[in-house]
Chain A
Amino acid sequence: MSLPIYLPLGLGAFLFGMGLWGALTRTNAVRILMFIEIMLNGVNLNLITFSRYYWQADPEMAARAPIITLFIMTVAAAEASVGLAIILNVVRNRDVIDVDKVTLLKG
């Protein structure tokens, strides 16, 4: 294993940081969903990297990381589909896409 472990782990951290930056600064709801996906992707990258370096020798353990990643992706897909449906409804009813303009619940 010639590639040092901190390189892919650092890439995962940077993906997470950029996703955080985008999700907190943009107001467009669809974009916020996209950046949440980017953050989940960075997390998956870290998980797979650790598994590659430390769990690879044991076949019982080595199958574990892909399965956890599969579940994370399942939740991400479900979240994206329901989130996009909600956003479509908001756009249809209120004709607005910026999350800070949807202030019906504001007291």
Chain B
Amino acid sequence: MTLNLLLSGEFIVFAILAIVTLLSTWRMVTSRLITHAALFMALSFTAVAGIFLLMQAEFVAAIQVLIYAGAITTMVIFAIMLSGLRDIKSQAKTAVRSWTKSNAIVFVVGLIFAAFMSYLYYAAQLPRAAAAESMTTVSTIGQSLFTYYTIPFEIASILLLIAMVGAIILTAKEAEQE
């Protein structure tokens, strides 16, 4: 790594976002309260959305904020609050605080996996990409979504519909039968 790279704005922004992502994910694993974990998850998703912006994928950054940081976090927090999960004591001793043997083994395996993959990416000497301006706009994405990818798009909407109906059926109290 040259000094030139270290001082470039792109690298500095990436470093800040990466540190925020990793720290919030770490806190998400180790925090004892589940509501804290959910909020750290939202922070992690938002930082990753910033990295998507850095990768010039504005559309993905937008749907990341909308779906992950917005919808899924809200849903998890609603589930926690509505069901009183907060009050149910987790039977297991607050998992990661106590470094049992199995926890440590899984941690080391995950760490080795991530480090090995990073080393592979580093050592692979991937060919230099041609510097190109971003050509994807939301209209390009929309055009190919509604022409070439119409059938997958419709299948995705049917999947969402089925998931919605299933979730309602699973959680609705059977009032009319009683």
Contact = CB atoms under 8 A, between A and B. Distances in A.
B118 A10 contact: yes
Nearest to A77: B67
Contacts, number: 252
Interface residues of B, number: 89
A24 B129 contact: no
Chain B binding surface SS class:
helix
Given A9-B121, A62-B135, A97-B85, A37 B67 contact: no
A37 B68 contact: yes
- Chain B CB within 10 Å — which of A16, A18, A51 has the most? A18
Interface string B142-158: 01110001001000100
A45 B25 CA distance: 15
Nearest to B62: A66
Contacts of B85: 30, 91, 97
B3 interface: no
A20 B110 contact: yes
Interface of B: 1, 4-5, 8, 10-11, 14, 18, 21-22, 25-26, 28-29, 34, 37-38, 41, 44-45, 48, 51-52, 54-57, 59-60, 63-64, 67-68, 71-72, 75-76, 79-80, 82-85, 88, 90-92, 95-96, 102-103, 106-107, 109-111, 113-114, 117-118, 121-122, 124, 126, 129-136, 140-141, 143-145, 149, 152, 156, 159-160, 162-164, 166-167, 170-171
Interface of A: 1-11, 13-22, 24-28, 30-31, 33-35, 37-38, 41, 44-45, 48-49, 51-54, 56-60, 62-67, 69-71, 73-82, 84-89, 91-92, 95-98, 100-101
